[in-house]
Structure 1
């Protein structure tokens, strides 16, 4: 057989044919694929922040009337809903026993006054000692104090209205025995209503006393026009302390004058609006968060993505306020985050309609 010579002839031919093929480039020599991203330019925009909060209406002043002297109730003339004026008698207790005790104390005081007048003459003529004069003088002082105490207790049997208002609660009836410090009735001044609402710490420092506030009351069925002056309130108090858990403070809004039909206990919707101010805004979708804090992907001059740490403020509609980390004019990536890393080469594509709508702003934004 002549197989061996044939093989020896074919081997050189195969080696020559392999040398003629071009070498394939190594995988490491391929140009990395650029990320497709959409960007916006960070801009400073003049906007006012608006936020709606709900609260409960209550009277600006509500007085609970308690008796300081026990006794039987002889008069309780007013009922719930009755209007009263400051100084009106709203309750009276039986004070006959105190009147008798007061009459006795007055008689003892008069006797002490005469005794002191008599003893003064004896002291001047040296017919009695100074010690006797001091004793009588003390008896007169005690008698005057007893009269004052009983007179005060007798005054407590008649209760006068400390404010003008409406009786919102009547808790007893004439003939009942009222022990000391019994709640007899409540007087409410409803000429002005107030409500208190929680406000975020980020918005709290942007509010000031006297700022106008739009208020709507659900119970009035929206009969008032949005610009009705009767539904315009103002900030009358900003409480200094914050809740350490929720990071919110309390703002008090006064509604004065009170619109027809508004009553304590009703639900009120309050729209807080800050003064217009210039803020650096970017779309909220551009903000990233990690265990180290907040950041965004920005694009540098070499068209590479860079991780930029930022501190955000209030969210306004679809935008977010940036307090530090960015400057106006910085290019920020808003879409194309999948597998995006710092220093990654990017290819910028035109923004979509959704992104463009998020960037456009109005004079007033709703904070979330």
Structure 2
């Protein structure tokens, strides 16, 4: 009796070998591209003015609150002026007495009844009394603190009853038209910017609002650690809803470049022997092509070196590729 083993007609047969990997490709065509950057900063007033006390005194009135608009010369803070007013009244009385003595001395000097030296001493006393009165008038005026420029009140730092000393900040104003935005820009990008260049600014709080801005100045030095340079933008006429302190994003054009070759980001690979490469087809054969990538533009990468117009670059099906191995183009697999 014989015994046969097996599981069917295909028993013992080997699985068919997998065919060449299927790939999709694009053929490179030079393009004109706009290289740009987006940087983030915080909107600030075009000018920030801190109103400070010049005289010591107790605050008796604060005439403004945050958000108030003030004109130049408007009262913002009043200090207690009673002590200085009393000193001024005394000084003015002394001045009147000194002036009377000076008039008498002039008459007596003319009659030869007093010497010129005595008359000069009396005139000096008059001048000192006048200077003292002028000083106290000035100090009295410092108790009435006014806005030096027109603007909007950003902050008030004192309340009624506080003691203000010289140089004590009282009120902070946003002065001047428009807003300012300072943003850090990479040293590699700032070389393409110039004062007067335009930018587009958006704020997260109002995503549908786009505002025109202009580069006012570029700071002269890069920050030592980050190698970034501060660029100052001005927004001449922002909407009223856009306020200082808002987070803003500025888009700036760096360069209009012609005849550029680009590949999808997914086509750019990293290797152990070469930092960056792409797969290109030589007929039906895959080849590794080392490249030097540049800027990224809308999901694609500028290729500075390594590729030429007309090269066929693999963009899909990269997993099974090997250098020198055969490939099969998928239907409709080559495009531009």
TM bucket normalised to smaller: 0.5 to 0.7
Root mean square deviation of aligned Cα? 4.5
Q: TM-score, normalised by structure 2?
A: 0.67
**1:206 Cα deviation from its structure 2 partner:** 1.8
Q: In the aligned structure 1, how far is the partner of 2:51 from the partner of 2:196?
A: 32
Label 1:287 to 1:116 Cα distance change in 2 as closer, same or farther (>3 A).
farther
2:243 is aligned to: 263
* 2:154 paired residue among 168, 175, 180: 168
Q: CA 1:77 to 1:295, structure 2 compared with 1: closer, same or farther past 3 Å?
A: closer
Higher strand share: 2
User: Per the alignment, do residues 132 and 121 of structure 1 end up closer, same or farther by CA in structure 2, a change over 3 Å counting?
Assistant: same
Structure 1: 5+ residue runs without aligned partners? 1-39, 297-307, 341-345, 361-368
Whole-angstrom distance in 2 between the partners of 1:113 and 1:279: 88
Q: 1:269 to 1:253 in 2, by over 3 A?
A: same
Match of 1:208 in 2: 194
Q: Could you say if the C-alpha distance between residues 119 and 256 of structure 1 is closer, same or farther in structure 2, counting changes exceeding 3 Å?
A: same
1:297-316 to structure 2, matched below 5 A, reads none
Structure 2 residue matching 1:133: 3-state secondary structure: helix
- The 5-angstrom pairing of residues 275-286 of structure 1 reads 276-277=256-257
Which residue pairs with 1:138 in the alignment?
Answer: 124
Aligned partners of 1:288 and 1:160: how far apart in 2? 68
Question: For 2:70, which of 77, 84, 88 is the aligned residue?
Answer: 84
Structure 2, unaligned runs of 5 or more: 1-26, 278-289, 315-322
TM-score, normalized by length of structure 1? 0.62
Q: CA deviation at 1:192?
A: 1.7
Instruction: Report Cα offsets for 1:31-52 as digits up to 9, x if no partner.
Output: xxxxxxxxx9997x75432101
Residue 174 of structure 2 corresponds to which residue in structure 1?
Answer: 188
Structure 1 residue aligned with 2:51: 65
1:258 positional shift: 2.0
Q: Contact 1:234 / 1:253 at 8 angstroms: preserved in 2?
A: yes
Indicate conservation of the 8 Å contact 1:191/1:258, yes or no. Answer: no
The 3 A distance-change label for structure 1 pair 162 and 49 is same
Deviation per CA, 1:41-79, whole angstroms, max 9, x where unpaired? 997x75432101111112222323322222222221222
Instruction: Select the structure that is richer in helix.
Output: 1
Structure with greater Cα Rg: 1
How far apart are the structure 2 equivalents of 1:331 and 1:249?
39
What CA distance in whole angstroms lies between the structure 1 residues aligned with 2:140 and 2:188?
55
SS in 1 for 2:205: helix
Counterpart contact for 2:42–2:244, Cα < 8 Å: yes
Q: Aligned to 1:254, which of 216, 234, 238?
A: 234
State yes or no: 1:223 paired with 2:203.
no
- Aligned pair 1:105/2:105, yes or no? no
SS in 1 for 2:238: coil
| Structure 1: distance between partners of 2:99 and 2:29 | 90
